[in-house]
Amino acid sequence: MTYRERTGKRVVAVDSVSFDIGRGEKFVVIGPSGCGKTTLLKAIGGFMRPSGGRLTIEGRPIASPGPDRMVVFQDFDQLFPWRTVRGNVAYAQRVAKGGVSKEAARKHADAVLDLVGIGHAADRYPHQLSGGMKQRAAIARAIALEPTLLLLDEPFGALDAITRTKMQRELLAIHERLGLSIVLITHSIEEAAAVGDRVLVLTRGPGRVREIVDVKSAGANAVTYLHQLLDEGAAA
Amino acid sequence: MRFRWTNLNPTLRRAILVVMIIVVWQLWITLAHVPQLLFAAPLDVAQTFVTDIGNGSLVGATVHTLEILIIGMAIGGAIGIVLAAFGVLSSVGHDLLRVLTSAFNPLPAVAVLPLAMLWFGLTPNSIIFVVALAAIWPVALNTESGFRTISSTLRMVAQNLGLRGPRLVFDVLLPGALPQIITGAKTSWAFGWRTVVAAELVFGVAGAAGGLGWYISNARYYLQTPAMFAGLVTISVLGLLVEALFNAVESRTVVRWGMSLAPEAREEAPAALEEEAARELVAP
């Protein structure tokens, strides 16, 4: 997949990458910086068109962004600052799912905020939240829309280590409850091994598939093995 | 505890200063025997205030000026926002906005008044025209930069939710640009306010009745110096009231949402610096 920079230069971000994601699967993409992880996620999200190849979701080609593929970004400032936390979650539902009443959207928002553990902060404005709470709110907004695919673009990347580990565990719990399909982009090997069912390892840019690792069958060695793959990928 | 000026409430601090200035002013006029024709004493100004508010002439002039100002600013502001929208939607629009603002922004709008009088005659429409001309550019420039500074992440979130067209504009772009829109409106108000008073003064000299500028010019004609001062004080007080109104709108919106600093916080900055300097002096 290639894209044009502002300067008109063509950049090959990811090259000949092919994979399938199963329903309910937690699929992690990892690779050195500049390997095109984010480009790949933006393509799945529909924000960028691949120059070659096909992207389909449930058999339909992906042409544009849509609420069936909700993205949670790394940027803390992804909530609308002029709406409360509850307002953000409720508003997204009313926009993305036609015909939801204000009352129903509010109720559902409260339920989802309780699920991600920030029900007590529903009336606050985003600027009154910590980084971890902002990311929880963004996750709540995304899952409230019941997307077919939840796309996570290093959502915990800017958090401190303790919050990060905690959020990974909570993400797993949410996945267990809702049975979502997840694509998580990360550059943390530990995070990949902790969250993923399968981990796609990309080589240094232009990213190619190094290997798709099945975390369960790799067992306790998963982290070591991923380290090896990434070191080789970086050296190659 | 030692008395400290900065420990007092900021409003109280200002009130004390205002009262002191007025007292000094009155004492100077009384003790130095300044000719009443050249400089009015606060007590005379206050008396004129009471009479001219009572007989309605000052109130009428104020209402007249505000009416023209509001109509002019509404027209100018609407055109400004439309220009800003063109500026972000197309690169031709962006360049057009640059060209127009660099041509008109340095031009004091009141300089166009003679032309406006040629087109609209000695009517309020001439003044509305120049006020609108003064208001357009600050709104257009600030709103455009507001639209542009909305983060790419928020834009992607909007796309992700499937927002398009008017809903995108009203639900994301306008609130996202609100801090800059308010800044633009404030600047427009300042320009418009000066323009309307200047235009009315010109009209007053030309003999057309109307707002506060005319009130002042009329007072000069009849050598009513206290009335000239009363007009100036009215203009100044109205300016303060509108500033307070803007601050109230800001604290209810962009400040509450964490998109801008509180007006008090911006004003308190010098005091904080002063404290810091004092602490540094005390430190060994």
Whether pLDDT at B76 is above 50: yes
Which run of H or of E encompasses A48?
none
ipTM of the prediction: 0.89
DSSP summary character for residue A108: H
Token pair of B246 as six digits: 């803007």
Model confidence over B11-36: pLDDT tens digits? 899 899 999 999 999 999 889 888 88
Topology of domain A1-68+147-236 in CATH is Rossmann fold (3.40.50)
Mean pLDDT for the stretch of residues A160-166: 91
* pLDDT value at B245 more than 90: yes
pLDDT of residue B228: 93
Identify the pLDDT of residue A14. Answer: 67
Among residues A30, A203, A96, A206, the alpha carbon closest in space to that of B157 is found at: A96
Query: How far is it, in rounded angstroms, from Cα B93 to Cα B186?
Result: 24
Residue A48 touches chain B, beta carbons under 8 Å: no
Q: Which of A48-57, A154-163, B262-271 has the highest mean pLDDT?
A: A154-163
- Higher local confidence (pLDDT), A52 or B271: A52
Q: What is the pLDDT of residues B195-237, one digit of tens each?
A: 999 999 887 766 666 789 999 988 988 989 999 999 999 999 9
What is the arithmetic mean of pLDDT over A140-160? 92
For chain B, the three-class secondary structure string (H helix, E strand, C coil) is CCCCHHHCCHHHHHHHHHHHHHHHHHHHHHHHCCCCCCCCCHHHHHHHHHHHHHCCHHHHHHHHHHHHHHHHHHHHHHHHHHHHHHHHHCHHHHHHHHHHHHHHCCCCHHHHHHHHHHHHCCCHHHHHHHHHHHHHHHHHHHHHHHHHHCCHHHHHHHHHCCCCHHHHHHHHHHHHHHHHHHHHHHHHHHHHHHHHHHHHHHHHHHCCCCCHHHHHHHHHHCCCHHHHHHHHHHHHHHHHHHHHHHHHHHHHCCCCCCCCCCHHHHHHHHHHHHHHHHHHHHCC
> Residue A5: what pLDDT?
46
Mean pLDDT lowest among A141-145, A207-211, B93-97: A207-211
pLDDT band at A7 (very low <50, low <70, confident <90, very high): very low
pTM recorded for the entire structure: 0.83
Mutation target vs B (from A80, A125, A152; most B CBs, 10 A cutoff): A80
Interface probe with A: pick from B91, B150, B161, most Cβ of A within 10 Å: B161
- Provide the shortest C-alpha distance from residue A63 to chain B (in Å): 12
The structural domains of chain A, with segments of one domain joined by +, span 1-68+147-236, 77-146
